[in-house]
Structure 1
Amino acid sequence: MNGYSQFGMTPGVTDPNAVPELAFSEAEYKRRQDTLRALMRREGIDLLYVTTPDAVAWLHGFYCGWYKANGPMRYPQIYGTAIHAHSDAMIHFDNPTEAALLKTMSVCKDNRYYTTRDGKTNLRFIMGELEREGLLKGTVGMEFWSYVPNRAISHMIEDAFRENGCEVKDASVIAREARRVKSAAELDVIREAIRICDIGHQAILEHARVGRTELDVMGAVNHEMMKAGGELPALIHVFNGAHLVDGRVAATGHSMPTTRKLEPGMLLAADLCGVKHRYHGNVLRGFYIGEPPKHLVDIYDRAAGAIAMAQRSFKANMTVREVNTALKQYCEESGLAKEEGWILGYELGLSLPPDWVGDFFFNMLDVEYLDRSFEPGMVTNLEILYGTALIDTLFWGVDGIENPTTTPCRLLTLPA
């Protein structure tokens, strides 16, 4: 009996003919590792223990469907990637059950596996391996803002580093900063994600009909997006029909699709993300069932004008203050400011559940965080929420904004 099977940790049979299926080239992953190492040195971090699934996937390609974020307390999730600032050393620690995935989808050449599910044993294993490589010294960075591991397990890992003589500091900022500006290869993948998202919205026009449930239609939409190469999104799509109340669409919050049937006079809000190689492209549209009221068409047209203005006027290196000022001016001139609502946006990129929202966030109503700049190569969405369901995804370039969606930016209609 080998060291894995006696603890119920057998990795299973690995396909000897399996070939790597990398989302990006090895050179692209090397660029990312170099970017992160430079930020580590800037912050005085010698070793970074990366645990956010998005960050691990970005760093060397690996991701999976279960991270045990809320799993059994007797089975703590202590996986992670240790990357060194002053050498090419990078070690991924995980359960042997993920060996097949790491072989085919990761560029990490040094993967080390646990032989038990016991947390204390695995912590000793990690610290012993790092010490043997001469990496267990100096300042260690951890992602305190990561949801994996949870608070209890994070404390275990932090205590283990401190007990071995390391200083520990929060490195969440650089783990996120490293991913903010997208490479040309990443931008190409997000363009493909938006193309898949457009297919989803076209599927709504073809499949959403009175009497069908939200879940039924969402299933047809997912089917079409996945036929086109799309993947499961990091958030469950907001996909809800609601009636008008005093001329305004009734709020549904971030509700999941339900067995509610579509009816004439409803507005179906479809907040979709196309996903390719875990990169997300976000497009939200409202679909009115029947002949829409003129005032609703009008407010959608004015809201769409905000996106058109952004495409004409915005470009990289503008500050949030400049962007917010332009948005407020447009809202005043268009009359949107008289309506209840706001405009905001957030960073998009590589995401795994439970969120596709990135770290860079801006809101037209903000009075702080206004001196940040939209860097060349950033990708954000732009949400126009004045009782309207309108979101597009913007690529920030030095010469202006690219908006790849082909879905019309207006109130769309479905037959009653």
Structure 2
Amino acid sequence: MTAITIEDTSGNPRDWPLAFPPAEYAERRQKVRKEMAHVGIDTLFVSSPANLTYLTGYDSRWYRRSTPTGLAIHVNSDDLLFFDDVSHRGLVSFHNGQISRAAFFARFRDLSEEGWIYKTTARDLVDTIKQEGWLKGVAAVEHWALAPGGVSLRFIEEGFKDAGARTVDGSWLVDRVKLVKSPAEIEMMDRAAVVADAAIEAVVRDFQPGMMEIEVQGIAHYAMSKLGGEEPAIRTSTTSGPNLRAHHPLPSRRKLLKGDVFVMDLCGSVYRYHANIARTFAVGEPDKRWTELVETSRISFDRIIEEVKPGDPMEKVVEVGMAYLDSVGIAHRGWFLGGYDVGIAVPPDWVGHTYLNGRCFERADFVPGTTVNYENVLDVEEGWPGGYGTQNVDTLLMEEDGIRILSKLSRSIQIVGA
């Protein structure tokens, strides 16, 4: 398999426009190579869809499990080598100008061999990288990537070994780099927050009693689309009644009637950059206990802004929020008090590799440019009239002087259909 030169079409307005200037992508790749040198990796095969978008601007609606869409980066080369199925040749060639050379798999051959799809494509990929002279040192794949499948990644890694490279796990290397957002990325996330806020405002404005949960979702999606918001990497949640106890259900055909309390949790997404927001709604004037609970719990965000500063561990967000809720006697209602690093994401995953409770893949400290969401999800086990819980979620940006919340909306309960 031979890599071919890809024409730079980034200046052609008829093609998909790049989210950022080429220099932004070049700087990202330079940071990745610097991190590779720091950890002793000579060649990194990147296949995580979000990381591919981050480094090149490439975006696709299908990342196959059987054939590896990916990018080979060498620590000492500005060149890039992109891999994809031959059916995506047009997509790669005309999508953007950040892929200089690409090699395409011809999948349908050697059909008699067991595992012919992932075995032949893995061999082709390894042989092509070997021809570049990039398998003479330490090589890595992203074992925690969502695509391709783990079997394909295993065959690629074994091929690297057979070609003479020493292999290590390259998971989270790119994620560490993209954890801190550039000014251009922050601007994109602010745009995503405007899109998210517009969705909530549209629901407040256009809701009518008797609408199904799925109709309310449609209001939000239409409002986001009108502002250029695309499909987010996490599906929108509109939940009410008993569904609130499930926490992660899809919008149903349940009708929202006067007296109901419901929650919307959604992401605005612009060029794959996300801003997460969730609010609690009441159809008509709610039982005063709902208002008191939301008004009391929302102050936890104010405490977090006051107390969490650059250099603090991410875990401090949860510690401050939990301490406040405990001080007012409602911490026991917390189903989930926490969050994740957020930013660029491709379906079906929308969060990064660090969690605010420090219990996931890696932990991190806040520095200017770090963006996370914070979720304040409370259950009401008594079954108050209208619902079973509340939710406030916002996206937090750490700046030089502290945290800024991207959303401009109130975190009070939203009364609709009155």
TM bucket, shorter chain: 0.7 to 0.9
SS for the counterpart of 2:372 is strand
Q: Does 1:58 align with 2:54?
A: yes
Letter in structure 1 aligned against 2:42: D
Pairs within 5 Å for 1:263-412: 263-363=257-357, 372-387=364-379, 388-412=390-414
Aligned partner of 2:42 in structure 1 is 46
TM-superposed CA distance for 1:218, in Å, is 1.2
Provide closer, same or farther for how the CA distance between residues 63 and 404 of structure 1 changes in structure 2, counting only shifts above 3 A. Answer: same
* Post-superposition CA distance 1:314-356 (Å, at most 9, x none): 2221124544443333223333335344421111111011111
Q: Which of 20, 23, 27 is the aligned partner of 2:19?
A: 23
Letter in structure 1 aligned against 2:136: K
Aligned partner of 1:72 in structure 2 is none
TM-superposed CA distance for 1:98, in Å, is 2.2
Task: Report if the CA contact (8 A) 1:18-1:104 is conserved.
Answer: no
TM-superposed CA distance for 1:116, in Å, is 3.4
Task: Report if the CA contact (8 A) 2:189-2:343 is conserved.
Answer: yes
Q: Which of 80, 89, 108 is the aligned partner of 1:99?
A: 89
Q: Which of 75, 80, 97 is the aligned partner of 1:85?
A: 75
TM-superposed CA distance for 1:224, in Å, is 1.3
State how many pairs are aligned. Answer: 389
* Post-superposition CA distance 1:216-248 (Å, at most 9, x none): 2211221111011000011111111226xxxxx
Q: Distance in 2 between matches of 1:275 and 1:299?
A: 30
Aligned partner of 1:11 in structure 2 is none
Aligned partner of 1:123 in structure 2 is 122
Task: Report if the CA contact (8 A) 1:317-1:398 is conserved.
Answer: no
Q: Distance in 2 between matches of 1:338 and 1:316?
A: 29
TM-superposed CA distance for 1:372, in Å, is 3.7
Task: Report if the CA contact (8 A) 1:23-1:105 is conserved.
Answer: no
Task: Report if the CA contact (8 A) 2:311-2:367 is conserved.
Answer: yes
Q: Does 1:140 align with 2:142?
A: no
TM-score, L = length of structure 1 = 0.88
Q: Distance in 2 between matches of 1:356 and 1:176?
A: 13
Q: Distance in 2 between matches of 1:94 and 1:370?
A: 30
TM-superposed CA distance for 1:311, in Å, is 2.2
Q: Distance in 1 between matches of 2:326 and 2:83?
A: 54
Q: Distance in 2 between matches of 1:256 and 1:160?
A: 41
Task: Report if the CA contact (8 A) 2:189-2:273 is conserved.
Answer: yes
TM-score, L = length of structure 2 = 0.87
Pairs within 5 Å for 1:180-219: 180-219=179-218
Q: Distance in 1 between matches of 2:132 and 2:141?
A: 19
* Post-superposition CA distance 1:71-103 (Å, at most 9, x none): xxxxx2122100001121210011233233322
TM-superposed CA distance for 1:126, in Å, is 1.9
TM-superposed CA distance for 1:360, in Å, is 1.5
TM-superposed CA distance for 1:385, in Å, is 1.6
TM-superposed CA distance for 1:123, in Å, is 2.8
TM-superposed CA distance for 1:250, in Å, is 4.6
Q: Distance in 2 between matches of 1:17 and 1:28?
A: 19
SS for the counterpart of 2:245 is coil
Task: Report if the CA contact (8 A) 2:138-2:167 is conserved.
Answer: yes
TM-superposed CA distance for 1:256, in Å, is 0.6
Q: Distance in 2 between matches of 1:198 and 1:323?
A: 23
Provide closer, same or farther for how the CA distance between residues 66 and 39 of structure 1 changes in structure 2, counting only shifts above 3 A. Answer: same
Aligned partner of 1:32 in structure 2 is 28
Q: Distance in 2 between matches of 1:372 and 1:193?
A: 24
Letter in structure 2 aligned against 1:196: V
Task: Report if the CA contact (8 A) 1:273-1:281 is conserved.
Answer: yes
Provide closer, same or farther for how the CA distance between residues 96 and 287 of structure 1 changes in structure 2, counting only shifts above 3 A. Answer: same
TM-superposed CA distance for 1:153, in Å, is 1.3
Structure 1: gaps (5+ residues): 4-15, 70-75, 244-248
Letter in structure 1 aligned against 2:77: S
TM-superposed CA distance for 1:149, in Å, is 1.4
Provide closer, same or farther for how the CA distance between residues 342 and 24 of structure 1 changes in structure 2, counting only shifts above 3 A. Answer: same
TM-superposed CA distance for 1:18, in Å, is 4.6
SS for the counterpart of 2:298 is helix
TM-superposed CA distance for 1:401, in Å, is 1.0
SS for the counterpart of 2:251 is coil
Letter in structure 2 aligned against 1:406: K
Q: Does 1:415 align with 2:417?
A: yes
Q: Distance in 2 between matches of 1:21 and 1:369?
A: 34
SS for the counterpart of 1:346 is coil
Q: Distance in 2 between matches of 1:265 and 1:106?
A: 54
Structure 2: gaps (5+ residues): 3-11, 109-116, 380-389
Q: Distance in 2 between matches of 1:203 and 1:168?
A: 51
**CA RMSD after TM alignment:** 2.3
Task: Report if the CA contact (8 A) 1:268-1:288 is conserved.
Answer: yes
Task: Report if the CA contact (8 A) 1:190-1:276 is conserved.
Answer: yes
